[in-house]
Structure 1
Amino acid sequence: MSKDSLPPRPALHKGSHSRVFSEKNKCVWERSGGYDLSLFARPPDSNFLCSVCHGVLKRPVRLPCRHIFCKKCILRWLARQKTCPCCRKEVKRKKMVHVNKLQRTIGRLEVKCKNAEAGCLVTCPLAHRKGHQDSCPFELMACPNEGCTEQVPRGVLTEHRQQCLHGIQQRCPLGCGATLGPAERARHNCYRQLREAWGQRQEHSRTLVLCLLQRLRKLHRTTNLIHRQLAQLGDFLEDDTLLVSTRQEEAEATPENSIEAEVWGGQSQSGV
């Protein structure tokens, strides 16, 4: 690694109170900025430390004066003062340069898993820490069962789900065939549900029967009316047939001469 890519050691100013930060400011800066030293499997080289937050450099940037800091730390510093925290030279934000080579070097440093205190012994490069965390068996996971608020390590999540009271599915002990969870079993009463369903069906059937009876009565009345009308029509046709046959008989009984005499008699009377 070239000397230009390494950050200089924190510089001290003259005088008995020549530290860059007071203890109060130090506590403020340690809560942000670089990586905490406790993350690393071995103590990092002092050249990798930020002189603002005293953590390992995160997204390092170099100032024109060649001092290197965490990007977040130096931006916060420059928001209050426009000088380098180490040498007090005036700094312009546009002159800052990202030190990508140094960032890659720090990314290869071995770090402990964030769940080391829980028992995880895995160490990995800093750049791969997030990938390990996504598969770490000691990472706390929320139980996916509805109603359960417990968080358990990923490695025992399957076992927890099998024993979790919020996730155990059982068939109804009364024999209705429903599969129920604990919360559902507490309020499940298939006898009552079946009785209510049966009552609803009976009510529906009663309504259908009443509707059918009303239609049958209406049909019966209509049929009787048609029968009466057909009977009246038959009587009418019978009377009309008798009348026609009577007239035919009368016409056949009258002589032709008498008809002609009546005709001539009528004409003579009209001539007079």
Structure 2
Amino acid sequence: FLCSVCHGVLKRPVRLPCSHIFCKKCILRWLARQKTCPCCRKEVKRKKMVHVNKLRRTIGRLEVKCKNAEAGCSVTCPLAHRRGHQDSCPFELMACPHEGCTARVPRGALAEHRQHCPHGAQERCPLGCGATLGPVERARHNCYRELREAWSQRQERSRTLVLGLLRRMREVHRTANLVRRQLAQLGGFLEEEDVMLVGAPQGEAEATPEGSMGAEMWGAQGQGTL
């Protein structure tokens, strides 16, 4: 009942013309490399292989233990039904269905593992903050405290910004007053300069005609004397 290639129980046994029997999958893989029997080295043609269905049924009725016998399973069943038993065996190792978890636990303990798995299905925060949390995160999540702390920090930042703006506005106000006073002083100085510049030509204009008339009279008297 054992295959000479894989040394396991025959699966879908086929017989070669030389009467040696192998698993169908094993002999096809062998013949892909060389066209001879693995036991007697006689030449083999794939068309001459024969399925041994009677032997297959005989092997299927053999009573075997569950492959998880060492883990504690005591079930014994026909070989043909062993795969069906494995699909429900409580000792069969199963991978955790949660994404990111690499644990493999017996099927009987899978439900308990899923409840405490740190990679469990994520859920929305029941308090309504909108956060998506896993089982471990839900145990220590307190969105009320976190939101209160975040609000306090934001208020502190806003207070700091407002104080900075008020200080800046006071500096701008003092600078504007200083510039206004300097502009007023400059305006007064310019008015005084305008008055001085406008008054000087008028005095010179009044003095010039008198001087010229005196010169003419002096010249006329001189000519008469001569």
TM-score (norm 1): 0.45
Which of the residues 189, 193, 198 maps onto 2:143? 189
Shift of 1:51: 3.0
Hey, what's the Cα distance between the residues in 1 that align with 2:41 and 2:90? Answer: 48
Between the two proteins, what is the percent identity of the paired residues?
78
Hey, what's the Cα distance between the residues in 1 that align with 2:123 and 2:80? Answer: 46
SS in 2 for 1:88: coil
Cα contact 1:139–1:154 (8 A) shared by 2 = yes
Which of the residues 128, 131, 136 maps onto 2:89? 136
Hey, what's the Cα distance between the residues in 1 that align with 2:140 and 2:93? Answer: 30
Shift of 1:82: 2.2
Give CA-to-partner distance per residue, 1:15-70, whole Å, 9 cap, x none: xxxxxxxxxxxxxxxxxxxxxxxxxxxxxxxxx22233333222111112322222
Cα contact 1:168–1:182 (8 A) shared by 2 = no
Cα contact 2:65–2:74 (8 A) shared by 1 = yes
- Is 1:152 aligned to residue 105 of structure 2? yes
Hey, what's the Cα distance between the residues in 1 that align with 2:26 and 2:145? Answer: 68
Hey, what's the Cα distance between the residues in 2 that align with 1:170 and 1:61? Answer: 54
5 Å-filtered alignment, 1:211-226, equals none
CA RMSD of aligned residues (A): 3.5
Which of the residues 50, 63, 71 maps onto 1:97? 50
- Is 1:111 aligned to residue 64 of structure 2? yes
5 Å-filtered alignment, 1:150-189, equals 150-167=103-120, 176=127, 181-184=135-138, 188-189=142-143
Cα contact 2:127–2:143 (8 A) shared by 1 = no
Hey, what's the Cα distance between the residues in 2 that align with 1:151 and 1:74? Answer: 34
The answer for the alignment partner of 1:123 in structure 2 is 76
SS in 2 for 1:124: strand
5 Å-filtered alignment, 1:60-99, equals 60-99=13-52
Hey, what's the Cα distance between the residues in 1 that align with 2:6 and 2:20? Answer: 14
Shift of 1:124: 1.2
The answer for the alignment partner of 2:224 in structure 1 is none
Gaps spanning 5+ residues in structure 1: where?
Answer: 1-47, 200-272
Shift of 1:86: 3.4
Residues 162/87 of structure 1: CA separation in 2 closer, same or farther (3 Å cut):
closer
Matched to 1:109, the amino acid is: L
The answer for the alignment partner of 1:263 in structure 2 is none
Matched to 1:152, the amino acid is: V
Shift of 1:167: 4.5
Residues 171/64 of structure 1: CA separation in 2 closer, same or farther (3 Å cut):
closer
Cα contact 2:91–2:108 (8 A) shared by 1 = yes
Cα contact 1:166–1:183 (8 A) shared by 2 = no
Aligned residues: 148
SS in 2 for 1:80: coil
Cα contact 1:51–1:69 (8 A) shared by 2 = yes
Hey, what's the Cα distance between the residues in 2 that align with 1:162 and 1:131? Answer: 27
- The answer to which structure, 1 or 2, has the higher relative contact order (CA under 8 A, 6+ apart) is 1
Hey, what's the Cα distance between the residues in 2 that align with 1:98 and 1:51? Answer: 16
Cα contact 1:162–1:168 (8 A) shared by 2 = no
